Protein backbone atom coordinates (compact mmCIF):
# COMPACT_ATOMS: atom_id res chain seq x y z
CA UNK A 1 0.00 0.00 0.00
CA UNK A 2 1.33 3.46 -0.91
CA UNK A 3 2.04 5.92 1.87
CA UNK A 4 0.49 9.34 2.33
CA UNK A 5 3.38 10.96 0.47
CA UNK A 6 2.72 9.01 -2.71
CA UNK A 7 0.74 11.86 -4.25
CA UNK A 8 3.95 13.87 -4.39
CA UNK A 9 5.95 11.10 -5.98
CA UNK A 10 5.33 11.93 -9.67
CA UNK A 11 6.62 15.48 -9.28
CA UNK A 12 9.55 14.39 -7.17
CA UNK A 13 10.44 11.61 -9.59
CA UNK A 14 10.17 13.96 -12.56
CA UNK A 15 12.59 16.40 -10.91
CA UNK A 16 14.99 13.58 -10.06
CA UNK A 17 14.81 12.25 -13.61
CA UNK A 18 15.70 15.60 -15.20
CA UNK A 19 19.18 15.41 -16.77
CA UNK A 20 21.92 16.89 -14.60
CA UNK A 21 24.10 19.35 -16.50
CA UNK A 22 27.14 21.38 -15.49
CA UNK A 23 25.49 24.77 -16.05
CA UNK A 24 22.10 26.30 -16.84
CA UNK A 25 22.70 29.55 -18.72
CA UNK A 26 20.16 32.14 -19.88
CA UNK A 27 21.49 34.55 -22.50
CA UNK A 28 19.40 37.71 -21.99
CA UNK A 29 19.98 39.89 -25.04
CA UNK A 30 19.12 43.54 -25.60
CA UNK A 31 16.53 43.91 -28.39
CA UNK A 32 15.38 47.40 -27.40
CA UNK A 33 14.85 50.33 -29.72
CA UNK A 34 18.49 51.42 -29.46
CA UNK A 35 19.55 48.24 -31.29
CA UNK A 36 19.16 48.73 -35.04
CA UNK A 37 18.97 45.89 -37.58
CA UNK A 38 22.73 45.74 -38.23
CA UNK A 39 23.54 45.84 -34.53
CA UNK A 40 20.94 43.15 -33.84
CA UNK A 41 22.52 40.93 -36.49
CA UNK A 42 25.97 41.46 -34.96
CA UNK A 43 24.64 40.33 -31.57
CA UNK A 44 23.02 37.21 -33.02
CA UNK A 45 26.14 36.36 -35.03
CA UNK A 46 28.32 36.93 -31.98
CA UNK A 47 26.21 34.54 -29.94
CA UNK A 48 26.19 31.90 -32.66
CA UNK A 49 29.96 32.21 -33.06
CA UNK A 50 30.46 32.04 -29.31
CA UNK A 51 28.49 28.87 -28.61
CA UNK A 52 30.22 26.99 -31.45
CA UNK A 53 33.77 28.22 -30.83
CA UNK A 54 36.29 25.41 -30.20
CA UNK A 55 37.45 27.00 -26.93
CA UNK A 56 33.86 27.10 -25.64
CA UNK A 57 33.27 23.48 -26.67
CA UNK A 58 36.52 22.48 -24.96
CA UNK A 59 35.37 24.23 -21.78
CA UNK A 60 32.08 22.33 -21.89
CA UNK A 61 33.84 18.99 -22.43
CA UNK A 62 36.20 19.63 -19.50
CA UNK A 63 33.38 19.58 -16.93
CA UNK A 64 32.07 16.44 -15.16
CA UNK A 65 28.85 16.02 -17.18
CA UNK A 66 30.21 17.45 -20.41
CA UNK A 67 27.02 19.39 -21.11
CA UNK A 68 25.34 22.73 -20.39
CA UNK A 69 21.79 23.97 -20.88
CA UNK A 70 21.30 27.23 -22.78
CA UNK A 71 18.22 29.36 -23.45
CA UNK A 72 17.99 32.81 -25.06
CA UNK A 73 15.78 35.69 -23.94
CA UNK A 74 15.26 39.07 -25.61
CA UNK A 75 14.34 42.04 -23.50
CA UNK A 76 13.50 45.70 -23.69
CA UNK A 77 9.83 46.51 -23.08
CA UNK A 78 8.57 46.68 -19.48
CA UNK A 79 7.17 43.24 -18.75
CA UNK A 80 7.88 42.21 -22.34
CA UNK A 81 10.94 39.97 -22.06
CA UNK A 82 10.47 36.96 -24.35
CA UNK A 83 12.05 33.51 -24.60
CA UNK A 84 13.10 33.28 -28.25
CA UNK A 85 15.14 30.05 -27.97
CA UNK A 86 14.00 27.54 -25.36
CA UNK A 87 16.34 25.22 -23.49
CA UNK A 88 18.91 23.30 -25.52
CA UNK A 89 21.47 20.88 -24.08
CA UNK A 90 24.87 21.57 -25.62
CA UNK A 91 27.17 18.56 -25.43
CA UNK A 92 29.24 18.63 -28.62
CA UNK A 93 29.75 20.37 -31.93
CA UNK A 94 26.50 19.08 -33.42
CA UNK A 95 24.31 20.31 -30.56
CA UNK A 96 26.20 23.62 -30.49
CA UNK A 97 25.56 24.10 -34.20
CA UNK A 98 21.88 23.30 -33.67
CA UNK A 99 21.73 25.99 -30.99
CA UNK A 100 23.54 28.47 -33.23
CA UNK A 101 21.06 27.79 -36.04
CA UNK A 102 18.15 28.34 -33.66
CA UNK A 103 19.69 31.61 -32.48
CA UNK A 104 20.08 32.89 -36.03
CA UNK A 105 16.62 31.71 -37.14
CA UNK A 106 14.53 33.05 -34.24
CA UNK A 107 12.36 36.04 -35.22
CA UNK A 108 13.21 39.27 -33.44
CA UNK A 109 10.79 40.06 -30.65
CA UNK A 110 9.12 43.47 -30.37
CA UNK A 111 10.87 45.46 -27.65
CA UNK A 112 11.39 49.06 -26.51
CA UNK A 113 13.07 50.88 -23.61
CA UNK A 114 15.57 49.05 -21.35
CA UNK A 115 13.67 47.03 -18.76
CA UNK A 116 16.58 44.99 -17.42
CA UNK A 117 14.86 44.14 -14.14
CA UNK A 118 11.97 42.49 -15.96
CA UNK A 119 14.47 40.58 -18.11
CA UNK A 120 16.15 39.18 -14.99
CA UNK A 121 12.78 38.25 -13.47
CA UNK A 122 11.74 36.48 -16.69
CA UNK A 123 15.06 34.64 -16.86
CA UNK A 124 14.76 33.57 -13.20
CA UNK A 125 11.37 31.99 -13.93
CA UNK A 126 12.80 30.34 -17.04
CA UNK A 127 15.53 28.67 -14.98
CA UNK A 128 12.97 27.50 -12.43
CA UNK A 129 11.01 25.76 -15.23
CA UNK A 130 14.05 24.26 -17.00
CA UNK A 131 13.89 20.59 -18.04
CA UNK A 132 17.42 20.15 -16.68
CA UNK A 133 19.03 20.36 -13.25
CA UNK A 134 22.30 21.97 -12.25
CA UNK A 135 24.01 23.44 -9.22
CA UNK A 136 25.42 26.22 -11.42
CA UNK A 137 22.77 28.72 -12.55
CA UNK A 138 23.66 31.86 -14.51
CA UNK A 139 21.84 34.72 -16.22
CA UNK A 140 23.86 36.74 -18.74
CA UNK A 141 22.51 40.25 -19.30
CA UNK A 142 23.92 41.93 -22.42
CA UNK A 143 22.90 45.49 -23.24
CA UNK A 144 23.92 48.99 -24.25
CA UNK A 145 22.12 51.01 -21.58
CA UNK A 146 20.98 51.12 -17.93
CA UNK A 147 17.73 49.78 -16.49
CA UNK A 148 14.73 51.91 -17.44
CA UNK A 149 11.00 51.52 -16.68
CA UNK A 150 11.11 47.97 -15.34
CA UNK A 151 8.08 46.86 -13.36
CA UNK A 152 10.64 45.18 -11.08
CA UNK A 153 13.78 47.33 -10.73
CA UNK A 154 17.00 45.61 -11.75
CA UNK A 155 18.41 45.65 -8.22
CA UNK A 156 15.31 43.93 -6.82
CA UNK A 157 15.15 41.35 -9.60
CA UNK A 158 18.89 40.71 -9.23
CA UNK A 159 18.58 40.20 -5.47
CA UNK A 160 15.65 37.81 -5.96
CA UNK A 161 17.64 35.79 -8.49
CA UNK A 162 20.67 35.63 -6.19
CA UNK A 163 18.42 34.45 -3.34
CA UNK A 164 17.49 31.47 -5.54
CA UNK A 165 21.13 30.56 -6.11
CA UNK A 166 21.47 32.26 -9.50
CA UNK A 167 24.50 34.34 -10.49
CA UNK A 168 23.80 37.34 -12.72
CA UNK A 169 26.65 38.45 -14.99
CA UNK A 170 26.77 41.35 -17.42
CA UNK A 171 28.08 42.21 -20.85
CA UNK A 172 28.11 46.01 -21.18
CA UNK A 173 28.15 47.21 -24.80
CA UNK A 174 29.82 50.57 -24.27
CA UNK A 175 28.92 52.39 -27.47
CA UNK A 176 28.91 55.72 -25.60
CA UNK A 177 31.66 56.93 -23.21
CA UNK A 178 29.24 57.24 -20.28
CA UNK A 179 25.60 56.55 -19.48
CA UNK A 180 23.09 59.27 -18.72
CA UNK A 181 24.13 58.84 -15.09
CA UNK A 182 27.63 60.08 -15.94
CA UNK A 183 29.51 56.82 -15.51
CA UNK A 184 30.73 54.01 -17.79
CA UNK A 185 28.02 51.43 -18.42
CA UNK A 186 30.14 48.68 -16.88
CA UNK A 187 30.04 50.58 -13.57
CA UNK A 188 26.26 50.83 -13.77
CA UNK A 189 26.06 47.08 -14.40
CA UNK A 190 28.42 46.35 -11.51
CA UNK A 191 26.19 48.30 -9.15
CA UNK A 192 22.68 47.58 -10.44
CA UNK A 193 22.72 44.37 -12.49
CA UNK A 194 25.25 41.72 -11.48
CA UNK A 195 25.17 39.67 -8.31
CA UNK A 196 25.94 36.30 -6.78
CA UNK A 197 29.18 34.40 -6.16
CA UNK A 198 31.87 35.37 -8.65
CA UNK A 199 29.59 37.72 -10.62
CA UNK A 200 31.39 39.88 -13.17
CA UNK A 201 30.97 42.33 -16.04
CA UNK A 202 32.81 42.16 -19.37
CA UNK A 203 32.72 45.23 -21.59
CA UNK A 204 32.53 45.32 -25.37
CA UNK A 205 34.05 48.59 -26.49
CA UNK A 206 32.06 48.54 -29.73
CA UNK A 207 29.23 46.46 -31.13
CA UNK A 208 31.76 44.82 -33.44
CA UNK A 209 33.62 43.68 -30.29
CA UNK A 210 30.56 41.79 -29.06
CA UNK A 211 31.63 38.35 -30.36
CA UNK A 212 35.02 38.56 -28.64
CA UNK A 213 33.46 39.69 -25.35
CA UNK A 214 30.72 37.04 -25.46
CA UNK A 215 33.20 34.25 -26.18
CA UNK A 216 35.43 35.34 -23.29
CA UNK A 217 32.42 35.46 -20.96
CA UNK A 218 31.14 32.03 -21.99
CA UNK A 219 34.54 30.43 -21.42
CA UNK A 220 34.84 32.06 -18.01
CA UNK A 221 31.36 30.95 -16.94
CA UNK A 222 31.65 27.39 -18.22
CA UNK A 223 35.18 26.72 -17.00
Q: Locate the domains of the chain by residue range.
A: 26-222
Tell me the pLDDT band of 7, cut-offs 50, 70 and 90.
very low
Mean pLDDT of 27-44: 87
The fourth-level CATH superfamily of domain 26-222 is von Willebrand factor, type A domain (3.40.50.410)
Mean pLDDT of 26-44: 88
- Mark out the alpha helices in the chain (DSSP H runs): 9-17, 37-52, 54-61, 93-105, 116-128, 154-163, 185-192, 210-222
**CA-to-CA distance for 183 and 5, rounded, in angstroms?**
55
Distances in Å between the alpha carbon of 72 and those of 5, 65, 90, 131, 140?
37, 21, 13, 15, 9
Could you tell me what percent of the chain has a pLDDT over 90? Answer: 72
CB count in 10 Å sphere of residue 212: 15
pLDDT (0 to 100) of residue 181: 62
Q: Which of 64-68, 105-109, 209-213 has the least mean pLDDT?
A: 209-213
pLDDT (0 to 100) of residue 183: 87
pLDDT (0 to 100) of residue 18: 86
What sign does the dihedral 101-137-142-119 (CA atoms) show? Answer: positive
**CA-to-CA distance for 207 and 223, rounded, in angstroms?**
25
Q: With a cut of 90, say whether residue 17 has pLDDT above it.
A: no
Q: With a cut of 60, say whether residue 73 has pLDDT above it.
A: yes
Average pLDDT of the chain? Answer: 89
Q: With a cut of 90, say whether residue 211 has pLDDT above it.
A: no
pLDDT (0 to 100) of residue 178: 55
**CA-to-CA distance for 128 and 144, rounded, in angstroms?**
27
Buried b (16+ CB within 10 A) or exposed e, 168-193: bbbbbbbeeeebeeeebbbbbbbebb
Q: With a cut of 50, say whether residue 13 has pLDDT above it.
A: no
pLDDT (0 to 100) of residue 3: 45
CA–chain centroid gap for 66, Å, is 19
Helix/strand/coil percentages in the chain, nearest 5? 45, 20, 35
Amino acid sequence: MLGAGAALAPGILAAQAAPVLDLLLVLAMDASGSIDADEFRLQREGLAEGVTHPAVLAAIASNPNGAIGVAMVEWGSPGGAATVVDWVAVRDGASARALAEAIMAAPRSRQSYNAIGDAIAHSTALIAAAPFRSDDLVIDVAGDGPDMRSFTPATEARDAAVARGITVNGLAIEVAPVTRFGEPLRRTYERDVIGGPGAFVIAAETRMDFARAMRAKLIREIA
